Structures are given as structure tokens and as C-alpha cells.
Structure 1
């Protein structure tokens, strides 16, 4: 009975981690894209900088659910994404 319960709980953890990566990965991808394109080494004027920032955000957002599955628990997943969002937001505010 315990064995059946742990197998039934596994998909819920996967769904939670995937949704966490999608929902909290979106603002993180936007802030990281801005930091890399406008606050980082490529801060100078470039004609394609806006296009690079746009496509970089898509790639980062796509990688966020993949990274979410590396967390050991639901709590660790959400805490790490919230801390990453907070750090990116603070860096964005600092460099703005």
C-alpha cells in the first residue's frame, strides 16, 4: 500500500515542478535576458540587441522547467525559483 502511494504521488511532484518552472521561469527569463543584453558585456549599442534579448528570453524560459526537475522536493523547487527571481530583480533594479 505504501509503495502504491509513492508511485501515485510522483506525477503530482512532476506536474508541480513543471508548472513552477513555467510560471516562475517566465519573469526570471525576462530579467536575465535584460541583464545579459543591457546590463552585461553587451551593453553598448548594437543594432540587433533587441532581437537577441527577445530570443534569449525564449531560450531561458524553455530551460526553466528543465532546471526545475533537478530540485529534490517541491519546497526546494519553489524556494530556489523565488530566490533566483528575487536576485534577478534586485540586480535589475540596481543596474536600471
Structure 2
């Protein structure tokens, strides 16, 4: 399973998001620290879920990072997290 698929599966299972987009941005980081041939090192996660209602932005990001702990320790060098409103709109 690719890192992209693993990230999607883990976040979907944990948070049941109304919207989830996992974008591999590794190509934008060619030659930077953590970049590897084949990509899957730099990601952007866009997620909307009621699970985050009432949580601070820091707590939301920690929750995502906790779920992806193994990936962050192994293959993923960088992760940008965008928490969107649970009821949309999403672009």
C-alpha cells in the first residue's frame, strides 16, 4: 500500500471525515531535506470532520499527527494539515 493510501485509510478510520484529500507534494520539494526518489515524502492533508468540533487548532493537528505517528517516523518527512469546516464548503 502506498503512503498516500495508508494516510487516507488511517484518517478515514479514525475521524470518519465528511471530506478528506491527501496530496503528495513531494515533487515541489525536489532536492530539499527528506526528499527521496519516488516521492511520498511531503504531504498535504485537507480534512473536514465533526471529530474536531470544539478542539483548538493545535489539538486538531496533534490528533492527526498521533494517528500518522508511524508514517511520520518512517517515510513521511513533512506534513501540512488543513482543517476545513465540517459542514463545508470544500474546494
| TM norm. shorter chain > 0.5 | no
Between Structure 1 and Structure 2, whose CA radius of gyration is higher? 1
Which structure: greater helix fraction? 1
